[in-house]
Amino acid sequence: MNSMTLKNLLLVTLFLPLLGQAQGLKSLDPSNLSGIYGTLANPANAVGGIDRYSFNLVGVSVRANTNALRTDLEYDLLRIVGRRPIRLEQGSLEHASVKTPRKVVLKPLVYAELDALQLAAQIAITKKVGIYAFARERSVANFDKGDYQSLKYLVEGKYDHKDPLVKLGFDIRSLAYQELGVGGAIQLYEKRQHYLKMGFTYKRINARGVYGVNVPHFESRLEDSTIKVTAELNIIETALDIATQNPLDFLLNPALGRGNAMDIGFVYEHRPRSLKSTYRKNNLKNKNKVFNSRNLTKYDYRIGLSLNDFGRVRFNRDVVTSQTNRINASFKPHDFANMTAEDYSQQIMDSSINYSSSDELSFQLPTTVVVFYDQRLLNKWYISATYRQNITAKSLGSFYTPTDLHVQFRKETAHCVFGFPVHVVPATRTFTLGAYAQAGPFFMGTDNVGTLFLKKMYNPSFYTGLFYNIRYKADATIENHRSFKTKRRRV
């Protein structure tokens, strides 16, 4: 396998997305101050909101969901942010920063995601029509179809080769791509207390890279003082040297491959008359067509339904290779006396029969169906619940995000939001408590507060960004005019 050993390739494949610059930006979605970020979750949110314009400068997030890995760090994030001195023992950074727990996990799963929203803009053409465009970089990774011993070997590189029988098997895959999205939303219906809107997003996908390792069979058997290893490995990898030849093409016109995807969504809002502006209550027939009232949050509850990331990305045949390795190797027990895990992997690959092919490959994106409910409480408090159902098969030719439930309490003021999300992932049987804050154009948060100060944590999550919203302009001559108030004069 050229200069990269098998184990190094597997580790890079599994943890590549975690080595980026920074939970998807999901916690911002329910907020009425989320601007362009609400559109990413449901395109229908681009119309009927409280803002006329929304511009994003930068937004980055990283998250991982797993039931079988814990960090093992010599420092915590709060110490780094606070610029407090970090005292490390010599050689402490040479070890892996993740470990498998002592308790055996029967079906280990790992999901990781890196999400970076770049320049983006959302504009309300009228009160009934909104448009938007954005550029976004994403990377996802999956580990499944394995057992605890397989994951333990990948992370720690340790197992006893002298055992009478050792069996391993797993799937690892990682995909990086760019989204260039354009879309719009319209108001479909508004009468009395009922309001319905829909939105659609088209996304052009530019391929960045793909790595996949499928091990359906790996067996190490001790027979007559000889360790016999038989295995099959299916490896998919991208030729990164092509991607780095021309930086401008890498950004705008990548030679690696392209694809298409779409989002479609609907939102229903129940808008009681008591939450509408004074002008609307006293001018139900809208006689003045010029008046442009300040957009306040008008619903007491709303329900959303969307289909997200429905599409595929296709890699060109000249930049991606598919290899099948048939392994049949033999070792003597004393051979392992001075052999490292890397040496062992390399020797196995050297003894394999390789079948390599270069052909066009297509991969399904992590498609989900999202159901959303948001309820207004007292004193500007809200409670929301978002359920995301994965509808993508778990295979070497597809990528998925795990089915999850996101429940959040939040308080919204004129320019600030404070939220407390609870994130539940049934597949990994894990749940985390988070917190985030948005003050003006800046936001920062995590879906697992343990990310900030725990050295042995699971499901790390962190996100931050900068964007700016511009509200509708109020007409002071009408909105605040006393003629619309029905106070009786005292005689």
Measured CA to CA in angstroms, residue 381 lies from 295, 372, 411, 436, 473 at distances of 18, 17, 4, 15, 25
Q: Which residues contact 223 (CB under 8 A, 6 or more apart)?
A: none
Where is average pLDDT lowest: 79-93, 95-109, 189-203, 440-454? Answer: 79-93
Residue ranges of domains in the chain: 6-484
> Confidence class of residue 419 from pLDDT cuts 50, 70 and 90?
very high
Quick one: what percent of the chain has pLDDT higher than 90?
A: 38
Pick from 137, 27, 22, 113: nearest CA to 462: 22
E strands in 298-428 = 301-315, 320-331, 352-357, 361-364, 368-376, 381-390, 404-412, 416-425
What's the pLDDT band for 179 if we cut at 50, 70, 90? Answer: very high
Tokens of 242: 């092509």
**8 A C-beta contact, residue 145 and residue 393:** no
Residues in the chain, total: 491
**Residue 390 tokens, joined:** 């994965």
Given this model, what pLDDT does residue 328 score?
86
Q: Could you give the CA distance from residue 194 to residue 44 in angstroms, rounded to a whole number?
A: 15
Q: Please name every residue paired with 327 in a beta bridge, in sequence order, or none if there are none.
A: 231, 352
Question: For the CA atoms of the chain, what is the radius of gyration?
Answer: 27
Q: What is the mean pLDDT of residues 77-97?
A: 56
Check residue 104 and report its DSSP letter.
Answer: P
Q: Are 422 and 448 in contact (CB under 8 A)?
A: no
pLDDT of residue 66: 87
Mean pLDDT of 140-157: 82
Cα separation, 435 vs 418, in Å, equals 8
Q: State pLDDT tens for residues 259-277.
A: 999 999 999 999 987 776 5
Q: How far is CA 142 from CA 34, 57, 206, 418, in A?
A: 29, 29, 20, 32
- What pLDDT, on the 0 to 100 scale, is given for residue 412? 94
Among the ranges given (140-149, 281-290, 390-399), the one the predictor scored with the smallest mean pLDDT: 281-290
Q: Is the pLDDT of residue 4 over 90?
A: no
| Residue carrying structure tokens 């681009």 | 46
- At residue 99, the pLDDT reads 74
Asked if the model's pLDDT at residue 91 lies above 60, the reply is no
Residue 6 above 70 pLDDT? Answer: no
Of 260, 269, 149, 275, nearest in space to 205 by CA: 260
Residue with tokens 């309490």: 409
What mean pLDDT is predicted for residues 330-344? 74
pTM for this entry:
0.83
